[in-house]
Amino acid sequence: MDPTTPEDRALLAFEQAGGVLRTSEALNLGIHPRTLYGLRDRGLLERVSRGVYRLSNLAPLGDPDLVRVALRVPKSVVCLISALDFHGLTAEIPHEVQIALPRGTKEPRVRQPPIRVFRFSAAAYREGIETHPVDGIDVRIYGPAKTVADCFKFRNKIGLDVALEALRSGVEEQRFRPAELMMFARVCRVHDIVRPYLEILV
């Protein structure tokens, strides 16, 4: 039977969208703000972040920080220590979500979680992006090889020891081929810095 109430139609729209909608998307689908907030107040929807809602009967978010940033800053790419943590290539515990944005883009306004923005050149920004489903949301994250190259690029900001640990872990666990790493190192203009460390390990 077709949904008859505005609430039923709204819930169906959320289900068809995978359980998550931005407020603007909900409005474009004909969901009235009063219906949206009513479902929230009844506990049928939960607020993920400003302007983003999800069905409350979905499984709890496993990585809410990455999901919130992906939804709030769609152009961002998870990078550096946050990407290393996602790929299991560091013992560092991220206290913020580190994201890459192209130079010249507007500074994102995100209250929670804490974020740190790193500005990448056009070439360095677009290379090596992988899309991973996290709690049903597509999150853009740099792959292991690109992330290690980025860590050498930003070694003065995150620490050379972090980059070296990630390189060693990546090589030992065969998370990338040396040629792949050097390709990204050239994009990041750190191939002369990475090469001697890599030669010791392979």
Q: Could you tell me if residue 166 is inside a domain?
A: yes
Cα separations in angstroms, 106 against 33, 68, 73, 76, 110: 28, 18, 11, 11, 12
Residues 171 and 121 in one domain: yes
Residues 77 and 112 in one domain: yes
CB 188 within 8 A of CB 126: no
Residues 137 and 69 in one domain: yes
Residues 92 and 158 in one domain: yes
Strands (DSSP E) contained in 14-93 are 20-22, 45-49, 52-55, 77-78
| First-to-last C-alpha distance (Å) of the chain | 63
Residues 91 and 183 in one domain: yes
70 Cα distance to chain centroid: 5
Residues 105 and 156 in one domain: yes
- Structural domain that includes position 16: 6-55
Q: Could you tell me if residue 19 is inside a domain?
A: yes
Q: How many CB atoms lie within 10 A of CB 74?
A: 11
Residues 93 and 174 in one domain: yes
**CA-based nearest residue to 168, from 127, 188, 197, 190:** 197
Distance CA 43, CA 58 (A): 12
Low pLDDT (below 50) residues in the chain = 1
* Residue 113, preceding peptide bond in cis (omega within 30° of 0): yes
Q: Could you tell me if residue 36 is inside a domain?
A: yes
Beta bridge partners of 137: 134
Q: How many CB atoms lie within 10 A of CB 36?
A: 20
Q: What residue has token string 């996602």?
A: 86
Q: How many CB atoms lie within 10 A of CB 50?
A: 14
**pLDDT at position 138:** 87
**Number of domains within the chain:** 2
Residues 50 and 68 in one domain: no
Distance CA 186, CA 79 (A): 17
pTM (2 d.p.): 0.77
**CA-based nearest residue to 49, from 34, 61, 33:** 61
Residues 33 and 87 in one domain: no
